Every structure is written in C-alpha cells, then in structure tokens.
Structure 1
C-alpha cells in the first residue's frame, strides 16, 4: 500500500522533477506534488511525495529528513489527512448594517416620500 509523505523547508528554487528525482533515489515514487502560489507560480517551500510502499516511505524518511538541499534542511514525515475546515469565515456573524434592523421610523437624514 502506498504512503504519502509531507516534505517541508524545500528550497524555493526546487522544481517538481528535482523533488521526484531526490525521492526516487530512496525508493519507488508513485507521485509528487510541489505546492505553488496560484497567482505567481512560485513554490511555497513544501510538497507531497507518494511512495509505493510503507517500506519505501520509511527509507525515504530515514535518509531525507534533515537532508540539506541548497542550505536548507528538509523536513520529511508522514503526511496527515487534511483536517476538515468549517466553511464560512467572514465577519463573525454580525449583520452588515452593524446590528441595526431595517424598518421605518424616525431618525435623522432626509425624509423619503
């Protein structure tokens, strides 16, 4: 069964094929994914590598965790499943008009009729 690894602290200059080649030297690689900024295309300095077996994954972790690439020590460990995020975000549930409900009534300003 394949095993997915998280790879962090990657040099920003590293390309996905270089990441693939680095891990291929330590076992059979199923896939690689270098995470990039969606606007600039610049690497975010981390990615994921799927190894063919748990043995290949363990060998890659043993060899490449703290491995130095372009002056940066790589962080390699088992990838954790993405935590489910609650949707939404935004203004904390406050009403757009600062809590005032609509309706008529007196108030300042000008008269609408």
Structure 2
C-alpha cells in the first residue's frame, strides 16, 4: 500500500518529498504523476514506506501540516479504479430504453 499526498506545491521535487517522509521511516519509492501535455507535476504524489507502522506515523504527522505554503492532504492511497472507455452511461443499455 502507499500514501497519497495531495495539495502539493508545483515546485516540490521527489527529493523534497523523500526528505520529509524519511523523518518517519524508510522511503521505498516516491511517484509524482505529471501532466501528459505540459510535463508539469499534477500537485499530488504517492509515497511507499517500509512498513505500515511507518506509513501510519507519517500520515498522522503530516495530514493537514503546512509545507511550502500549502496545507497537505495525506492519507492511505485508494486502489486505482478501472476506467471504461464508454463512461458511466455506456455500460447500462437499459437506461437508454424508453418504455
């Protein structure tokens, strides 16, 4: 499992995040998604810690904390949802029928 870190400044680097989270344990990986068109960071990241205890400690310490002028949003990352190509309406043909 990993930690979701939201409301990040666009100036934050992976090294910055790793430095902050290292205070709470081993950082295995930092992933910062970027915009496909601009290459700019999207304002959030995922951090994988060494143990669940380290994750919990980091979440408790950093959720709501001020960093680089922003209030961080830090919590357990939710599993990525599958996205269908037809959207939410395309999978239910009955909803388009008239009776």
SS of aligned partner of 1:80: coil
Runs of 4+ in 1 over 3 A off after TM superposition: none
Give the TM-score of the pair, scaled to structure 2. Answer: 0.82
5+ residue gaps in structure 1?
A: 93-113
Which residue does the alignment assign to 2:8?
A: 10
Query: Using the alignment, how far apart are the partners of 1:58 and 1:25 within structure 2?
Result: 13
5+ residue gaps in structure 2?
A: 91-99
Q: Once the 2 structures are TM-superposed, how far is the Cα of residue 87 of structure 1 from its aligned partner? A: 2.1
Query: Using the alignment, how far apart are the partners of 1:31 and 1:70 within structure 2?
Result: 21
Give the TM-score of the pair, scaled to structure 1. Answer: 0.72
SS of aligned partner of 2:29: strand
What's the RMSD between the two structures over aligned residues? 1.3
1:49 aligns with 2:53: no
Q: How does 1:12-91 map to 2 (within 5 A)?
A: 12-88=10-86
Higher strand proportion, which one?
1
Query: Using the alignment, how far apart are the partners of 1:37 and 1:84 within structure 2?
Result: 19
SS of aligned partner of 1:55: helix
Higher helix proportion, which one?
2
Q: Once the 2 structures are TM-superposed, how far is the Cα of residue 80 of structure 1 from its aligned partner? A: 0.5
Q: How does 1:91-102 map to 2 (within 5 A)?
A: none
